[in-house]
Structure 1
Amino acid sequence: MDELNTDEIVRKFLNTEFIFEAPEIRYPSSNPVKDAHKAVIGMSFGKDSLLTYAVANELGLDPEIVYIVEQSLTYEEKHKKNLASKFKTEFGKELQILTHETGKLRDYAHLGMPKSEFGWGLQNTEYTLELIPFAYALHAKYILFGNEQTTAASYMDDANKWTIYPAYDQSHLWTVHLNQVSQAFSGRSVLTGSLIEPLMDMMIQYMLAHRYPEMAKYQMSCFTENEFGADYHWCHHCNVCAKMYLLCVGSGIDPPAIGLREDMLKKEFKEFYTLFGGKTSLTYLNTGIARDEQLFAFYCAARKGVKADLVEIFKESELYQEAKEREDELIKIFCSIYDSISVPKNLKDNLISIYKEEISSFEF
């Protein structure tokens, strides 16, 4: 959260002039991808892209994986290349790596700007365009992103004037536009979508670790932006590590199954949970749905008898009573399969069958 005035940010954005060094317009090829049958997945090794890969593989899409390097993220590339090496050894699937210059649009050191969310708003749009050549080279019919249900979440700014979408570029509505973009640039042969749009985060984390444990051990959701993340792909000192630990515990998954080593429910980590008043610069963790997600996960952990400092604090607070009174509502929100508009239609029936099987196995 950069605490800047929303009106001023919008004004500057609308007044921005873009100048291109090579102004000549080059039209995309109208030739379709030959023998298009695979899926290309933007692989971050987060839970969303790993579940997307695992499900695509189960659906017979023979998925290929591409990692687009964001040079501004301190230790991320090192850790992901290490995970990719082990992943290739186990599954025989090589990680294609692309270092892209457009990443400098959100490299604050390069731009001489303070850290903010500026520049991240079109990340998936950039990636869609950059993955199209991979679709041609790897015979892909699909470009798949890990855009889950909460990417459409929003909240009001401090002045209660603007609706803020922390991840609109990943929302289902925008993914439909990205599908139009990829078709326009590929002779209408490459479709862009998300296999996990029907799911909330907690079910994604549960399904990955429960149905595909061999994939879950490669999970890296942490941005490793601090020195605690220098030598390992979980820093155990950030909001993301705390969230993933909580989602695991709340869904009955042992956190070490995804590589977490530290007990993130110790009292000393309370500041990393927005439910307890913790602060974060990650805007998507400030939505109402993100708050209720933590409420539900702590409630699940309490019901399962988890012994931990923060679970005890939760049980003794008014939050526990709130969760108890909203139990049916929270279960419906976080343990449902949602209607989707970005799941490729010919994959939907088999996909939903997998999800129904997994949700039926979830023990509340």
Structure 2
Amino acid sequence: MTNSRNLLISRKILQSGIELKVGRKKFFLPYPPSMWKDFPDEYKYSLADSLTYFLTMHLALTDDCKVTYDFPCPITEPFFFKGMLYSLSDNFLAKNNRKSMGEILKLYYNKIYEIEFRGRPRYPRFKNINLNNRNRSIIPFSFGKDSLLTFGLSRELGIEPSLFFFQEPKSVFENRHKHKLAKQFKKEFDVEVKEYDVSVGALREEGTEHEWGWGMSLTQYTMLLIPYLFSMKARYLFWANEQSCNDVFFDKEGYLLSPVYEQTFQWLLTSNDIARLLGSNAIISSLIEPIHEIAVIKILHSRYPEIAKYQMSCFSEDLEKSARNKRWCGACTKCARVFILFKALGIDPEKVDFKENMLVSGKRHLFGIFAGSDIKKDSGWDQSDVAREEQLFAFYQAYKRDVRGPLLEEFKKKYLREIEKKEKLLRKKYFGVHSQNTLTNVLKEPLLKIYEEELLPLRK
């Protein structure tokens, strides 16, 4: 073990939530007092232990820190180990990373041994597991295309949706824009977007070599929602993970990488097991698992245009501060990706207040098919090999719609013949309906009917 400073982390159950103490700093995870009172005590401690560990374990990965937890090892720790292990792809693809995947794995493997827990394990009684018998859904909501479509589908399926946006302290511009959108959304649809302040997110790293702390954040949100699932007796928790989230690729060392492991169907199924241990038997799934990103945008904008106009799919926190007063910064790879998908489908970007042209030469570094390894490294997904094919297909669809510009000309010279040869296969893939691993039979039949109705004409 290395010589390092000791960081003591503890937690306390309060009348309205959980208090985390990290060294001398305190953070609060709030819940409505009446809801928290109804959540069984045997689950409160397991949830508090698990959340504290999941939200702070990354602090043990810094070179000079040995973490000691003032409570027993959480019942969910083995799940975290696996999830974090496969989520290290995100850290490998971080913009400032200079380590190989093997070196990052070694760091994680060794640092785990330095974590210490105090106290004897508790063995909670699992007698009062919640009956999630109301036809309601909870949706982690970001105003991105995926969560907007999930909201629309949930309503069409007759499942009453409740929406939660998690405010990260380091996402200042995003929080500001989405707070405004939430007020407009409530006025139009009479549906509140509940804003949960993840104050402990201040411990997440930003701009460092590995940006520790962001991995497993979606699982943290799932756990934070468990008391709400319990109180509302909601039958479903719908994450918005589309088909390409399951794609993987090999790096130069031969490691199989998943750019977004937490959004794979495998981890979503595992999340169901985590929820069971912490007091909820709600079904955690993704309504949009069977379809690809381009199909998500198509269905959202054609079937639910009144919902689609709220779309904001932008990282928002770029160094140029382009997002301070704009919903779309026009300076990130996500803006670039969504813009070409709009053009591929004949959607006017200005319908979602997207006013910048992303197909000029000055935006070349935001597209993986042109920039290659020189792409702006703000997204592990857009750097990965798995993103290349759908981006090429989107450029091809835009080209067929007579969209023109410097980047379309470059596409024409480099890739047009390649894509023309594969058009039928690509059309079948990206406008097709694929695996439904996380969906129950009750959900499958009406969903697949919607998808075929919307996408079948595009496969011909």
TM-score for both structures, normalised by structure 2: 0.73
Contact 1:29 1:187 survives alignment (8 Å): no
For residue 173 of structure 1, what is the aligned residue in structure 2? 266
1:101-127 alpha-carbon deviations (Å, 9 max, x no partner): 45245333xxxx615453332122211
Considering fraction of residues, name the structure with more strand: 2
2:392 aligned to 295, 319, 339, which one? 295
Counterpart for residue 309 of structure 1: 406
2:184 is equivalent to residue 86 of structure 1? yes
Query: What are the residue-to-residue correspondences of 1:97-136 with 2, within 5 Å?
Result: 97-108=195-206, 114=208, 116-136=210-230
Greater mean alpha carbon deviation, residues 35-44 or residues 131-140 = 131-140
Corresponding residue of 1:248: 342
- Confirm or deny: 8 A CA contact 1:38 1:61 kept in the other structure: yes
Identity of aligned residues (%): 32
Secondary structure at the residue paired with 2:411?
helix
Matched, 1:209 2:307: no
Aligned match for 1:5, one of 83, 88, 100? 100
Q: In 1, distance between residues paired with 2:272 and 2:295?
A: 25
Distance 2:433 2:334 in 1: 24
Cα distance, 1:314 vs structure 2: 1.5
1:73 to 171, 196, 208: 171
Over 3 Å counting, the alpha-carbon distance change for 1:34 and 1:312 in structure 2 is: closer
Q: What is the Cα deviation at residue 61 of structure 1?
A: 0.6
| Residue in 2 that maps onto 1:52 | 150
Residues 339 and 228 (structure 1), Cα distance of their counterparts in 2 relative to 1, 3 Å cut? same
Change (3 A) 1:187 1:128: closer
Asked if 1:275 corresponds to 2:369, the answer is yes
Higher relative contact order (CA 8 A, sep 6+): 1
Give the aligned partner of residue 26 of structure 2: none
For 2:287, what is the secondary structure of its paired residue? Answer: coil
SS at match of 2:195: strand
In the alignment, the residues of structure 1 paired with residue 436 and residue 409 of structure 2 have an alpha-carbon distance, to the nearest angstrom, of 37
* 1:158-197, Cα deviation, whole Å (9 max, x unpaired): x333111111111011111112222333353x11010011
**Match 2:428 to one of 328, 332, 351:** 332
Give 2:285's aligned residue. Answer: 193
* Distance verdict in 2 for CA 1:195–1:173, change over 3 Å: same
Partner of 2:448: 352
* Aligned-residue RMSD, C-alpha: 2.1
CA distance in 2, matches of 1:99, 1:107: 17
Q: In structure 2, what residue type is equivalent to 1:311?
A: L
Which structure 2 residue ranges, 5 or more long, are not aligned? 1-93
How far apart are 1:34 and its partner, in Å?
5.9
Q: Which moved more, 1:63-72 or 1:281-290?
A: 281-290
- The equivalent position to 1:14 in structure 2, one of 106, 109, 112, is 109
What is aligned with 2:276?
183
| Matched residue, 2:381 | 284
CA contact (8 A) 2:369 2:388 kept: yes
- Which segments of 5 or more consecutive residues in structure 1 lack a partner in the other structure? none
Contact 2:150–2:288 at 8 Å: present in 1 too?
A: yes
Report the Cα offset of residue 264 of structure 1: 1.1
Query: What SS does the corresponding residue of 1:31 show, helix, strand or coil?
Result: coil
Work out whether 1:220 is the aligned partner of 2:312.
yes
What residue in structure 1 maps to residue 237 of structure 2?
Answer: 143
Return the offset for 1:344. Answer: 2.9
| Aligned with residue 343 of structure 1, among 413, 418, 439 | 439
8 A contact 2:229–2:280 mirrored in 1: no
Q: CA deviation at 1:306?
A: 1.4
Change (3 A) 1:115 1:22: farther
Equivalent residue letter for 1:299: Y
The 2-side partners of 1:102 and 1:216 are apart by: 32
Residues 45, 29 of structure 1: alpha-carbon distance in 2 compared, 3 angstrom cutoff: farther
Counterpart of 1:75 in 2: which secondary structure?
helix
Of 33-42 and 143-152, deviating more is 33-42
Q: Say if 1:181 and 1:43 are closer, same or farther in 2 by CA, change over 3 A.
A: same
User: Which residue is equivalent to 2:141?
Assistant: 43
User: Which secondary structure does the structure 2 equivalent of 1:337 belong to?
Assistant: coil
Does the aligned pair in 1 maintain the 2:243–2:291 contact within 8 Å?
yes
From the superposition, tell whether residues 199 and 256 of structure 1 become closer, same or farther in structure 2 (CA, over 3 Å).
same
CA contact (8 A) 2:144 2:312 kept: yes
Q: Which moved more, 1:79-88 or 1:176-185?
A: 176-185
CA distance in 2, matches of 1:298, 1:47: 19
Residues 74, 3 of structure 1: alpha-carbon distance in 2 compared, 3 angstrom cutoff: farther
Amino acid aligned to 2:178: K
Compute the displacement of 1:74 (Å).
3.3
Are positions 1:266 and 2:364 aligned together? no
Provide the C-alpha distance between the structure 2 equivalents of 1:154 and 1:272, rounded to a whole number of angstroms: 21
